[in-house]
């Protein structure tokens, strides 16, 4: 392997400003009736947080259950108490203790031994109401003493040789037990064959058991006991070692190693187990037969790094030494073997942990552990001379939000271990231990296999097959909530000071540098500390042409702090026109109380709101201030009511001043346009082939009069392949939110078509293939959750009364096509086909027994021609699976074909005729051409274009308006492009916005699959496209804008009422009425906009039978349902809002968008 990768998320987020930790006992006895948890919260700059905490706990099984169903038992209760009632009896800064009683929860479990107690704390900061969560776990156990025979113990014994068992005695948390005079009792039982029984129905050996004398062992300080066992009986087939201490018993069962000649060797490490690269190690081989010569091999990272032979003068014990080096790190397998005169290979192996994989020793440090924003700081890196070092400094708030994106020593260790040729299970076991690990097996072949070598020999390699193990299932208990408060200790109590500097540099990644070290192996760099009050985590790694890669084992930390500062609590974005209460938080860590003047600077980007004594509002653009008293060691919030008036990023500048200290910050806030988002897309096909060398076309752009000013965005894209836009937009083909079974298929079907296409034109890159396969696997697994027991599929699975004919046919088509790329259980497809056949009507049609999500699928006369045609196509494409039911599927297809011939002859619907022509062509029916001829006569022709009414243009995200349209269009487009895609691309494209050359695109053979885009916020009246060169290309002009309101033929009547409005919550009720001509609507989706700074609690939404699914997305909640009734939403604020600007609530049929 020559590469490694990291996966990171791209999201809209607000960085957390504090972290929470939960401290539990490392283990809890099952006899306990309660446990005390300590919850701590501190800001990233180290100071404690004042707030409240809600604590929940649950019990989880120690081993993963194998059953599909986990029984969940719940108990709920609430406890609120002040920190004054804590154990210490006085206020505690940023910390509290809470007692969690087990009595009711334990009554639901017969045995909690080996379960995990999971405690979750949700801390709400008083100043901002921001919530941060943390979790901790403790093991439940019956005893304070834990005995364990580690899995590194050999599973086999060798008759005639000493077996050494390792027993670990510890507390349940793994720490050594307290000193005790009690000794460990170890007993050994040997199983020996007794008599060979011959009977007419069976032949077998009876066995007898022999007990060896018990042994006593004291408990050492490190808790590791070495138990030597000598098995003298050569006939022994099984050994059981039993250890007892303090009422706890553990067993170790051993199986005899196999050799046809009873020849065995045993390899042992005789020196200290902690090995550093460069150390000499002593090894010893004991044999049941005299040795003349031994061969050894040292393997690491998938390679043989050392080999040699050791001469032995007919001895049964032979010692030899090795010198380790960095190539043996992190794990080295030592294999020894010899070949008997009869050709049998006798082998043994052990695994050693070797430190020192990094010959290049790297360290990083900062000149100061703490500093103020804007101060200079020196970072020093040490490594081997002439190394190239790489530095990264990340805001700790980012790491609290998401960690794991940095390169660590553990990542490198695991990467090196992945090169090893042993099994993944063995790698996992080895990571737990740094002791020498036995690596032999039940026979010579298993020993060689465990060592990761492939054997090509004419010698005799004996093999024996071991028996498998299995797991057991357990039950699970769920959350038990409790609550308590945080408080923090209060500290005791002209002209205003001016801020020395304006803090405005709030980067999240500070350093991302490359430094070349000098001959002394040291390099320094000086940087200015950003303005965030936080802690910075600095990491480093280095590369060297001689000593290779090295990484700093510890990170440097720099705390940035001021004893007096102001901080703005901002949402990710707001909407223009909203009245926002801008929250400025003043933190006073001075030694005295201070009166603070907090000033909001004037800006043209927003207006201030003033409310007089009569409640009347006035507006202005001027500097405003408030005075507030902040006691020492505390924080206070002030609010500035403003209305953002500009779209984009606006600057907010706030200054906090006292007579002795001051601070000022400038932050950016994203302001989005108000109104309802709209878009349209104009595709332009450039064809420079067959002698054509130039192309020109002008696209006129218009906007409705109700367009919201400042919301316009024009995007021009170009690609050489017609499938390019689809490839780039695999994960966002439709704008509708996904969630039901039908929409989930759109995460699967396009990926299948695109992957098929790219493979056929030899353009399937590893990146695209990985992306598409990931979507396919996720889509396949998710779709299975919507399967009924009878094999059918529906939008919401078991929550629907019946499967859907259309969706089931859709699933069988796409699953069948996906089989060539991912694993698909063909039995699922067969069961779905069987279900469809059982639903077929006598006239050959396929009715819809389930919920009709898209009613137009059944045709204008409700004859079901469109649906029958779709099912028939699905059956045709799955003919290779029909061997399982020839007698049912073939007759069903003939009946369906007869039905279609009759109905299509009477149809004048171009949609039906188009589907039928494809179905007849696929079936090889002579009806295909006449239907296609009829369809041709209905086409609308404009120049070189030909189209039929009822279709709609693709969206800017390269999807079409409905599920069916998208599936058909992508399939057709991919098939067409396979036949038309060529090579020798050389196209130069110039786009002129209002006659001004603005963007250029060059399309060549190297980038014809790349979707190139340019955007502008300026709305031109026209876009002129000029192209020269050779080849074909697709240029798309996409226009995005918001409108104030829409006048449409509505099929729903929707009203939204604010039932309750306070500073702490909003309760919103929506009422919906179906206005369509049919008796009921299709499945519909309601999107309710959430005001800036507010969040939705899904648990507080009124639960209705018709409400199938709830999704909480950025600034909106999405509800999926069949019918309409009143329902309530409880909205909890993160940012206080004085009066909400308009937010949209949209209700639409999933397919019609009306």
Q: What is the pLDDT of residues 975-1002, one digit of tens each?
A: 777 666 666 788 999 999 988 888 899 9
Query: Regarding predicted confidence, which is higher, 1117 or 22?
Result: 22
Q: How far apart are CA 594 and CA 617, in angstroms?
A: 31
Flag the least confident range among 24-38, 81-95, 270-284, 1064-1078.
81-95
Sheet strand arrangement including 1094-1096 = 1052-1061, 1066-1074, 1127-1133, 1094-1096
1093 phi/psi in degrees, rounded to 5? 85, 0
Do 877 and 820 belong to one domain? yes
Q: Is the pLDDT of residue 969 over 60?
A: yes
Q: How confident is the model at residue 526 (pLDDT cuts 50, 70, 90)?
A: very high
Q: Partners of 559 in the beta sheet?
A: 370, 535
Residue range(s) defining the domain that contains residue 1106: 1048-1149
Q: Is the pLDDT of residue 456 over 90?
A: no
Look at residue 396 and tell me if it is in a domain. no
Nearest to 738 by CA among 804, 681, 785: 785
Q: Is 894 helix (H, G, I), strand (E, B) or coil?
A: helix
Q: How far apart are CA 625 and CA 126, in angstroms?
A: 23
pLDDT of 120 reads 84
Query: Regarding predicted confidence, which is higher, 841 or 1099?
Result: 841
Query: Regarding predicted confidence, which is higher, 1139 or 112?
Result: 112
Angle at 301 (CA atoms; ends 297, 307), nearest 5 degrees: 15
pLDDT of 133 reads 83
Q: How far apart are CA 49 and CA 92, in angstroms?
A: 10
Domain-ending residue, one of 356, 372, 388: 356
Structure tokens at 72: 């969940």
Q: How confident is the model at residue 714 (pLDDT cuts 50, 70, 90)?
A: very high
For range 788-792, the mean pLDDT: 92
Would strands 376-382 and 522-528 be described as parallel, antiparallel, or unpaired? antiparallel
| Chain centroid offset of residue 330 CA | 29
pLDDT of 1076 reads 60
Do 128 and 194 belong to one domain? no
Q: The domain spanning residue 661 has which CATH number?
A: 2.60.40.10
1005 phi/psi in degrees, rounded to 5? -60, -25
Q: How confident is the model at residue 951 (pLDDT cuts 50, 70, 90)?
A: very low
913 near 904, Cβ under 8 Å? yes
pLDDT of 314 reads 86
Please tell me the pTM assigned to this model.
0.62
Give percent of the chain above pLDDT 90: 18
CA dihedral 783, 789, 793, 795 (to 10 degrees): -80
Look at residue 278 and tell me if it is in a domain. yes
Look at residue 763 and tell me if it is in a domain. yes
For range 1082-1101, the mean pLDDT: 68
Give percent of the chain above pLDDT 70: 75
In tens, the pLDDT along 413-422 reads 666 666 665 5
Sign of the four-CA dihedral 387, 388, 392, 393:
positive
Structure tokens at 551: 């990484």
Q: How confident is the model at residue 473 (pLDDT cuts 50, 70, 90)?
A: very low
Do 772 and 899 belong to one domain? yes
Do 927 and 778 belong to one domain? yes
| Of the ranges 727-741, 805-819, 1090-1104, the best mean pLDDT one | 805-819
Nearest to 647 by CA among 1087, 1042, 1093, 1137: 1042
In tens, the pLDDT along 278-322 reads 888 888 888 888 988 888 988 887 788 888 888 888 888 988 988
Q: Which residue has the tokens 């060689």?
A: 448
Q: How far apart are CA 209 and CA 203, in angstroms?
A: 20
Q: Is the pLDDT of residue 1135 over 50?
A: no
Work out the number of other CB atoms within 10 angstroms of the CB of residue 1.
7
- Exposure string for 330-347, b = 16+ CB within 10 A, e = fewer: bbbbbbbbbeeeeebbbb
Q: What is the mean pLDDT of the chain?
A: 78
| Of the ranges 259-263, 338-342, 538-542, the best mean pLDDT one | 538-542
Do 197 and 123 belong to one domain? no
169 near 145, Cβ under 8 Å? yes
Q: The domain spanning residue 218 has which CATH number?
A: 2.60.40.1930
Flag the least confident range among 575-579, 996-1000, 1088-1092.
1088-1092
Q: How confident is the model at residue 883 (pLDDT cuts 50, 70, 90)?
A: low
Q: Is the pLDDT of residue 574 over 80?
A: yes
Do 599 and 747 belong to one domain? no
Do 112 and 192 belong to one domain? no
Indicate the number of domains in the chain: 5
Q: The domain spanning residue 91 has which CATH number?
A: 2.60.40.1940
1042 near 678, Cβ under 8 Å? yes
Do 173 and 129 belong to one domain? no
Flag the least confident range among 57-61, 213-217, 434-438.
434-438
pLDDT of 727 reads 60
394 near 315, Cβ under 8 Å? no
Helices (H), 235-310: none
Q: How far apart are CA 833 and CA 827, in angstroms?
A: 10
pLDDT of 1136 reads 37
Q: Is 154 helix (H, G, I), strand (E, B) or coil?
A: coil
Q: How far apart are CA 117 and CA 355, in angstroms?
A: 35
Question: How many angstroms separate the Cα of 760 from the Cα of each of 733, 752, 755, 794, 977?
Answer: 22, 12, 8, 33, 10
pLDDT of 618 reads 84
Q: How far apart are CA 389 and CA 383, in angstroms?
A: 8
Read out DSSP for 923-962?
HT-TTHHHHHHHHHHT-EEETTEEE-TT--PPPTTS--SS
Look at residue 158 and tell me if it is in a domain. yes
Look at residue 1086 and tell me if it is in a domain. yes
Q: How confident is the model at residue 564 (pLDDT cuts 50, 70, 90)?
A: very high
Do 1118 and 1134 belong to one domain? yes
Look at residue 1006 and tell me if it is in a domain. no
Do 229 and 133 belong to one domain? no
pLDDT of 78 reads 34
Q: Which residue has the tokens 């890159």?
A: 765
Q: Is the pLDDT of residue 950 over 70?
A: no
Query: Regarding predicted confidence, which is higher, 901 or 455?
Result: 901
Read out DSSP for 446-512?
HHHHHTT-----SSB----PPPP-------EE--EEEEEE----------PPPPSSEE----SEEEE
In tens, the pLDDT along 642-659 reads 999 999 999 999 999 999
pLDDT of 1138 reads 43
Domain-ending residue, one of 485, 518, 549: 485
Q: Is 177 helix (H, G, I), strand (E, B) or coil?
A: coil
Ramachandran category for residue 984: left, alpha or beta (phi over 0 → left; psi -120 to 50 → alpha): left
Angle at 738 (CA atoms; ends 732, 742), nearest 5 degrees: 110
Q: How confident is the model at residue 1052 (pLDDT cuts 50, 70, 90)?
A: low
| Composition of the chain by helix, strand, coil, percent to 5 | 20, 40, 40
Structure tokens at 800: 């629907």
Query: Regarding predicted confidence, which is higher, 251 or 1084?
Result: 251
Q: How far apart are CA 78 and CA 418, in angstroms?
A: 48
Look at residue 865 and tell me if it is in a domain. yes
Q: Is the pLDDT of residue 1027 over 50?
A: yes
Query: Regarding predicted confidence, which is higher, 37 or 1116?
Result: 37
pLDDT of 106 reads 65
**Upper half-sphere CA count for residue 423 (Cβ side, 13 Å):** 9
In tens, the pLDDT along 742-761 reads 777 776 787 788 788 777 77
CA dihedral 608, 612, 616, 620 (to 10 degrees): -20
Nearest to 119 by CA among 29, 59, 42: 59
Domain-ending residue, one of 980, 999, 1017: 980
In tens, the pLDDT along 45-101 reads 888 888 888 888 777 765 443 333 233 333 333 333 222 222 222 225 788 888 877
Query: Is the link from the previous residue into 638 a cis peptide, with omega within 30 of 0?
Result: no
In tens, the pLDDT along 117-126 reads 888 888 888 8
Would strands 1052-1061 and 1127-1133 be described as parallel, antiparallel, or unpaired? unpaired
Sign of the four-CA dihedral 889, 891, 892, 896:
positive
pLDDT of 263 reads 86
Do 728 and 649 belong to one domain? no
pLDDT of 1123 reads 57
Read out DSSP for 250-297?
EEEEEEE---TT---EEEEE-S-S-EETT-EEEEEEEEEEEEEEEEEE
Q: How far apart are CA 206 and CA 661, in angstroms?
A: 91
Q: How confident is the model at residue 600 (pLDDT cuts 50, 70, 90)?
A: very high
Look at residue 501 and tell me if it is in a domain. no
296 near 282, Cβ under 8 Å? no
pLDDT of 523 reads 92
Element (H, E) at 203: strand 202-217
Do 650 and 752 belong to one domain? no
């Amino acid at each position: 392997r020559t590469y490694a990768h990291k996966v990171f998320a791209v999201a809209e987020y607000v960085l957390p400003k504090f972290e929470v930790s939960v401290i539990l006992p490392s283990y809890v006895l099952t006899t306990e009736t309660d446990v005390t948890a300590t919850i701590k919260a501190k800001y990233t700059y180290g100071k404690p947080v004042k707030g409240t905490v809600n604590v929940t706990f649950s019990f989880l099984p120690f081993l993963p259950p194998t059953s599909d169903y986990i029984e969940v038992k719940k108990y709920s209760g609430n406890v609120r108490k002040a920190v004054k009632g804590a154990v210490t009896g006085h206020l505690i800064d940023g910390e509290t203790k809470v007692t969690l009683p087990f009595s009711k929860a334990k009554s639901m479990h017969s045995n909690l031994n080996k379960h995990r107690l999971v405690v979750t704390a949700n801390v709400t900061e008083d100043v901002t109401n921001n919530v941060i969560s943390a979790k901790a776990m403790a093991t439940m156990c019956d005893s304070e003493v834990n005995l364990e025979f580690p899995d590194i113990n050999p599973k086999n014994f060798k008759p005639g040789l000493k077996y050494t068992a390792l027993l670990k005695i510890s507390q349940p948390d793994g720490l050594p037990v307290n000193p005790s005079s009690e000794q460990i009792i170890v007993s050994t039982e040997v199983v020996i064959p007794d008599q060979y029984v011959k009977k007419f129905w069976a032949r077998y050996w009876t066995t007898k058991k022999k007990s060896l004398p018990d042994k006593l062992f004291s408990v050492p300080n490190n808790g590791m006991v070495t138990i030597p066992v000598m098995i003298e009986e050569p006939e022994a087939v099984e050994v059981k070692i039993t250890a007892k201490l303090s009422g706890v018993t553990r067993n170790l069962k051993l199986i005899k190693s196999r050799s046809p000649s009873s020849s065995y060797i045993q390899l042992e490490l005789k020196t200290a187990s902690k090995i550093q690269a460069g150390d000499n190690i002593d090894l010893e081989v004991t044999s049941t037969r005299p040795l003349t010569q031994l061969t050894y091999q040292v393997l690491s990272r998938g390679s043989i790094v050392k080999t040699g032979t050791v001469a032995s003068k007919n001895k049964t014990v032979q010692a030899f030494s090795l010198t380790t080096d960095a190539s043996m790190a992190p794990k080295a397998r030592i294999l020894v073997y010899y070949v008997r005169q009869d050709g049998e290979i006798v082998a043994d192996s052990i695994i050693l942990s070797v430190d020192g994989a990094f010959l290049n020793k790297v360290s990083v440090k900062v000149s100061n552990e703490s500093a103020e924003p804007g101060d200079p700081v020196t970072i020093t890196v040490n490594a081997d001379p002439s190394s190239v070092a790489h530095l990264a400094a990340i805001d700790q708030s980012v790491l609290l939000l998401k960690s794991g994106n940095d390169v660590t020593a553990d990542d490198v260790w695991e990467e090196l271990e992945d090169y090893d040729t042993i099994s993944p299970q063995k790698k996992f076991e080895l990571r737990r231990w740094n002791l020498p690990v036995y690596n032999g097996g039940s026979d010579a072949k298993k020993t060689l296999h465990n060592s990761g070598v492939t054997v090509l020999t004419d010698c005799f390699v004996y093999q024996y097959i071991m028996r498998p193990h299995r797991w057991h299932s357990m039950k699970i208990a769920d959350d038990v909530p409790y609550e308590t408060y945080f408080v923090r200790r209060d500290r005791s109590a002209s002209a205003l000071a001016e801020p020395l500097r304006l803090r405005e540099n709030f980067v999240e990644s500070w350093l991302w540098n490359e430094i070349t070290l000098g001959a002394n192996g040291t390099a320094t760099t000086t940087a200015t500390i950003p303005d965030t009050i936080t802690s910075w985590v600095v990491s480093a790694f280095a590369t060297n042409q001689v000593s290779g890669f090295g990484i700093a084992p510890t990170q440097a930390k720099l705390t940035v702090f001021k004893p007096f500062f102001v901080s703005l609590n901002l949402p990710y974005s707001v909407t223009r026109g909203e009245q926002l209460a801008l929250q400025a938080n003043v933190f006073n860590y001075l030694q005295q109380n201070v009166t603070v003047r907090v000033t909001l600077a004037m800006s043209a980007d927003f207006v201030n709101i003033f409310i007089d004594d009569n409640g009347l509002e006035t507006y202005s653009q001027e500097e405003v201030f408030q005075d507030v008293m902040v006691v020492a060691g505390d924080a206070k919030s002030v609010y500035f009511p403003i209305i953002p008036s500009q779209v984009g990023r606006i600057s907010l500048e706030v200054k906090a001043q006292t007579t002795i200290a001051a601070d000022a910050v400038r932050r950016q806030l994203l302001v989005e346009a108000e109104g309802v988002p709209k878009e349209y897309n104009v595709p332009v096909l450039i064809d420079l082939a067959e002698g054509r060398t130039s192309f020109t076309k002008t696209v006129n752009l218009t906007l409705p009069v109700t367009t919201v000013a400042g919301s316009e965005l024009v995007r021009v894209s170009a690609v050489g392949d017609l499938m390019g836009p689809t490839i780039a937009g695999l994960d966002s083909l439709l704008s509708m939110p996904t969630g039901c079974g039908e929409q989930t298929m759109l995460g699967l079907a396009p990926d299948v078509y695109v992957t098929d296409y790219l493979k056929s034109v030899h353009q399937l890159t590893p990146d695209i293939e990985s992306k598409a396969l990931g979507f396919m696997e996720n889509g396949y697994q998710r779709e299975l959750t919507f399967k009924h027991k009878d094999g059918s599929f529906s939008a919401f699975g078991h929550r629907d009364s019946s499967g859907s004919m259309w969706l089931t046919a859709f699933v069988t088509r796409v699953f069948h096509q996906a089989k060539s790329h991912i694993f698909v259980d063909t039995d699922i497809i067969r069961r779905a086909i069987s279900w469809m056949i059982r639903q077929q009507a006598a006239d050959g049609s396929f009715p819809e027994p389930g919920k009709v999500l898209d009613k137009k699928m059944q045709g204008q006369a409700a004859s079901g021609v469109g649906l029958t045609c779709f099912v028939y196509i699905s059956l045709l494409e799955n003919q290779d699976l029909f061997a399982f039911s020839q007698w049912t599927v073939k007759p069903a297809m003939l009946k369906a074909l007869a039905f279609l011939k009759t109905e299509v002859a009477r149809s004048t619907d171009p949609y039906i005729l188009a589907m039928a022509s494809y179905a007849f062509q696929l079936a090889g029916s002579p009806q295909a051409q006449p239907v296609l001829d009829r369809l041709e006569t209905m086409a609308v022709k404009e120049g070189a274009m030909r189209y039929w009414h009822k279709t709609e243009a693709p969206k800017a995200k390269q999807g079409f308006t409905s599920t069916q349209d998208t599936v058909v269009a992508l399939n057709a487009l991919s098939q067409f492009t396979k036949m038309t895609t060529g090579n020798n691309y050389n196209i130069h494209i110039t786009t002129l916005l209002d006659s001004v050359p603005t963007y250029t695109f060059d399309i060549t053979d190297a980038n014809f699959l790349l979707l190139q885009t340019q955007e502008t916020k300026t709305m031109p009246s026209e876009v002129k496209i000029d192209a020269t060169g050779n080849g074909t290309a697709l240029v798309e002009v996409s226009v995005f804008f918001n409108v104030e309101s829409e006048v449409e033929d509505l099929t729903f009547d929707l009203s939204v009422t604010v039932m309750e409005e306070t500073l702490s919550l909003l309760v919103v009720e929506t009422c919906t009425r179906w206005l369509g001509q049919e008796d009921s609507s299709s499945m519909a989706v309601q999107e309710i906009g959430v005001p800036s700074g507010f969040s939705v609690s899904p648990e507080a939404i009124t639960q209705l039978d018709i409400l199938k699914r709830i999704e909480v997305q950025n600034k909106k909640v999405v509800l999926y349902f069949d019918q309409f009734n009143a329902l309530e939403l409880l909205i909890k604020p993160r940012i206080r809002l004085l009066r909400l600007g308009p937010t949209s609530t949209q209700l639409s049929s999933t397919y019609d968008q009306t």
